[in-house]
């Protein structure tokens, strides 16, 4: 893995860790609510529902707090979170473009070596295979961006227009970076498809 691929993978792992933390908190909260309303069976159902809900929205806590209770502190926290997320997606988009450019360059080198009969089709495919994991990481990034976009749209909907500009700016940035990530992912897919078939 190149350093850029490692950074993308680490970023994806941080996202998964945050979702897991949200899932754990959701499961405990759901179990407590379920127990209070339905005893042991209710606790199990509540834990399951809380786990699913917490996992799906683990990293969106600041936006959710803001949309639930529109206090000044929650507003500032939600803006800071939105700006942090936008910066992270911007970095990931740049990394994904770098990895895609490196992959295209590597594919051109491998193609020249293959045509010169200095490497086999198997060696070509083996060298290109490393990009499959990066494609999976970028799939996860696109999904995370969609969740963040949805959360920001909710924040914009409940925010007076005069105060929504920071959310709109973050939304625009994430939407654009999500497109950049998707385009880089498509270039990586083309690279993985460029490997010659077995002889």
Full residue range of the structural domain in which residue 118 is found:
3-16+61-193
Indicate whether 79 belongs to any domain: yes
Gap between the Cα atoms of 103 and 69, Å rounded: 46
Number of domains in the chain: 1
Indicate whether 47 belongs to any domain: no
Gap between the Cα atoms of 64 and 70, Å rounded: 10
Indicate whether 56 belongs to any domain: no
Higher pLDDT, 59 or 23: 23
pLDDT tens digits along 52-105 = 445 445 545 555 555 555 567 777 888 888 899 899 999 999 999 999 999 999
Indicate whether 34 belongs to any domain: no
**What's the pLDDT at 46?**
46
Tokens 């209070």 belong to 36
Indicate whether 167 belongs to any domain: yes
Indicate whether 38 belongs to any domain: no
Helices (H), 58-71: 61-68
Indicate whether 31 belongs to any domain: no
Indicate whether 44 belongs to any domain: no
Structure tokens at 191: 């690279």
pLDDT tens digits along 118-128 = 999 999 999 99
The pTM of the full predicted model, rounded to 2 decimals, is: 0.69
Question: Is 129 exposed, middle or buried (CB count within 10 Å of its CB: 0-12, 13-18, 19+)?
Answer: exposed
DSSP class of 2: -
DSSP class of 161: G
**What's the pLDDT at 115?**
94
């Amino acid at each position: 893995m190149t350093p850029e691929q490692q950074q993308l993978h680490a970023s994806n792992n941080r996202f998964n860790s945050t979702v897991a933390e949200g899932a754990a908190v959701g499961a405990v909260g759901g179990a407590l609510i379920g127990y209070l309303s339905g005893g042991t069976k209710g606790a199990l159902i509540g834990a399951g529902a809380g786990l699913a809900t917490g996992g799906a929205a683990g990293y969106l806590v600041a936006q959710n707090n803001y949309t639930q209770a529109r206090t000044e502190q929650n507003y500032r926290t939600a803006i800071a979170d939105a700006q942090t997320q936008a910066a992270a997606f911007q970095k990931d988009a740049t990394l994904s473009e770098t990895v895609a450019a490196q992959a295209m360059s590597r594919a051109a080198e491998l193609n020249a070596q293959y045509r010169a009969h200095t490497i086999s089709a198997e060696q070509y495919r083996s060298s290109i295979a490393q990009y499959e994991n990066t494609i999976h990481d970028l799939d996860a990034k696109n999904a995370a961006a969609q969740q963040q976009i949805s959360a920001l749209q909710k924040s914009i909907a409940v925010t007076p227009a005069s105060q929504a500009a920071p959310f709109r700016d973050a939304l625009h940035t994430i939407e654009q970076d999500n497109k950049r990530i998707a385009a880089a992912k498509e270039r990586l897919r083309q690279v993985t498809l460029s490997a010659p078939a077995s002889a």
